[in-house]
A and B are shown apart, each in its own frame.
Chain A
């Protein structure tokens, strides 16, 4: 395979990133490049800080009090953690889908239009909502009942609605935080297919517990592990093929072969 030799443009560059919750150091000096139009998987055992790392990319950690972040994440030539940057601007460019589907208790249409409204979109809402729902492969299932409450959808449909909601505001990057962990296998396959289609237009970072999923959907895989003090570190990052066949580090091999989890 030649995947690992392909050179893509870097979308997000992480430099010496450390995260503290109060006195507790959750992540230590992470450096990695997230490439454009690639799917990057973050894997590792529970508590290794992969979700914390994901939340750094759209500054969601800022919402927890007492969080301190050192280091930089360069996006579009600017450090998203520099003083001048308002996290609100970052989040409209770097979207996120959460572990459990979390639609608003509103109609399907209003859910998708929510982000457009927040960002002061002026124009044809119907068109944008339709586009986002087509992109998330939900349009055919809901086009005749856009005014129904989002809770009338199944769990898998709700998660694709959340994808549509994130896509509606035309982000560059989509962060997926274990997007299928609350879904059944069929709904999971649909989301994975969707990820494969979406990476043509978006840069995707996915946190997953499921190593088969990482192997199926991602181009690059980063393996994180918490050492002593429960502080998460990046063990290695490489093409997914390589991580799952000939990893460089012994810890990675132990983890992917299931010697510990």
Chain B
């Protein structure tokens, strides 16, 4: 006598085994990534925590490790980020709005579209050399904060344009139609129906793009030429340095103390970076609750 259900089905246990193996593999991937990140963090914190002192933050670089600090680099980074944001946000968001809402669909716009995605993948040193030849030499901006910010803007513009376009694209067509049907012209539709809904996404894009810029060393090496700077930049035409360069400089010194300093610098850079990302998450959640209730 046979029942309809085969209790000892071998194919079922085989399928279950395959499922289990797959989950194990995925979990392993998560573990590797997590362990990598954690060991990095733990090592940096162990090496650097005793170096995170007011000296590190408020002093200028020095030959004596216990007196050395990254004040010039910290202010340089913040100054450059501010200028970069001022340049990138209007240009990037404007370009995204134009490409999504106004540009006719023809070969030119698809050409621009493909190339924006490609540009987002270009190695950052290439942007550094481009900035060096255009801004530093051709436009004679010298090795100034302005030249650095313009270079950094070029680097993050493609990323910002891409994320902003995605945010604008994700606004339902029905919202646009509704606004048009109420007698809105295109600008009103964009301003009142599209941008408010796309705003959290655009904001996330801005902060993620800027947090990419904050950690970039390669293009800044090309622009600043690894100088030893013991002053805080005041005008956009002043020379400057940034934190990744200062850290790089310390790492490459032979004394052990400087390696500790570098770790301390990394901790501060990470704090800056993580707080920017947290702001992005908080702002996004705050505005998204309203649009997806």
Contacts and interface: CB of A to CB of B under 8 A. Distances in A.
Among A103, A106, A166, residue most surrounded by chain B Cβ atoms (within 10 Å): A106
Given A65-B105, A117-B192, A118-B192, A96 B179 contact: no
B177 A60 contact: yes
Given A102-B172, A102-B174, A88 B184 contact: yes
A261 B175 CA distance: 31
A98 B290 contact: no
B104 interface: yes
Contacts of A60: 177, 180-181
A119 B183 contact: yes
B182 A166 contact: yes
- A interface residue count range (under 10 / 10 to 19 / 20 to 34 / 35 or more): 20 to 34
Among A58, A102, A103, A162, residue most surrounded by chain B Cβ atoms (within 10 Å): A102
A104 B195 CA distance: 12
B115 interface: no
Interface in A64-99: 65, 88-89, 91-92, 95-96, 98
A117 B188 CA distance: 10
B192 A114 contact: yes
Contacts, number: 72
B6 interface: no
B183 to A, nearest CB: 3
Contacts of A22: none
Contacts of B184: 88, 91, 118
A11 interface: no
Contact of A118 (B105, B179, B197): B179
A95 B182 CA distance: 6
B291 interface: yes
A85 B146 CA distance: 48
A205 B175 CA distance: 22
Contacts of B181: 58, 60, 91, 95-96, 98, 166
A102 B179 CA distance: 10
A160 interface: no
A92 B174 contact: no
B149 to A, nearest CB: 35
B290 A118 contact: no
B171 to A, nearest CB: 9
Contacts of B172: 102
B192 A115 contact: no
B145 interface: no
B182 A63 contact: no
Contacts of A242: none
A114 B290 contact: no
Interface of chain B, main secondary structure: helix
Contacts of A105: 175, 196-197, 290-293
Contacts of B291: 105
B182 A169 contact: yes
Interface in B140-179: 172, 174-175, 177-179
Contacts of A165: 178, 182
A15 interface: no
A107 B290 CA distance: 9
B63 to A, nearest CB: 58
A98 B188 CA distance: 20
B193 interface: yes
B183 A102 contact: no
Contacts of A88: 183-185
Interface in B120-150: none
A141 to B, nearest CB: 17
A92 B182 contact: yes
A161 B181 CA distance: 15
Contacts of A98: 174, 177-178, 181
B182 A118 contact: yes
Contacts of A100: 174
B174 A118 contact: no
Nearest to B183: A92
A96 B185 CA distance: 16
A177 to B, nearest CB: 10
A111 to B, nearest CB: 9
Nearest to B191: A118
B162 to A, nearest CB: 23
A152 B178 contact: no
Contacts of B185: 88
B207 to A, nearest CB: 22
A147 to B, nearest CB: 11
B182 A115 contact: yes
Contacts of B188: 118
Nearest to B188: A118
Contacts of B292: 105, 151
18 contacts: A63-B180, A65-B105, A88-B185, A91-B181, A91-B182, A92-B182, A104-B175, A104-B193, A104-B197, A105-B290, A105-B292, A106-B196, A114-B179, A115-B182, A118-B183, A118-B184, A118-B188, A152-B293
List 5 tightest A-B contacts by C-beta distance, closest first: A92-B183, A102-B174, A105-B291, A115-B182, A96-B181
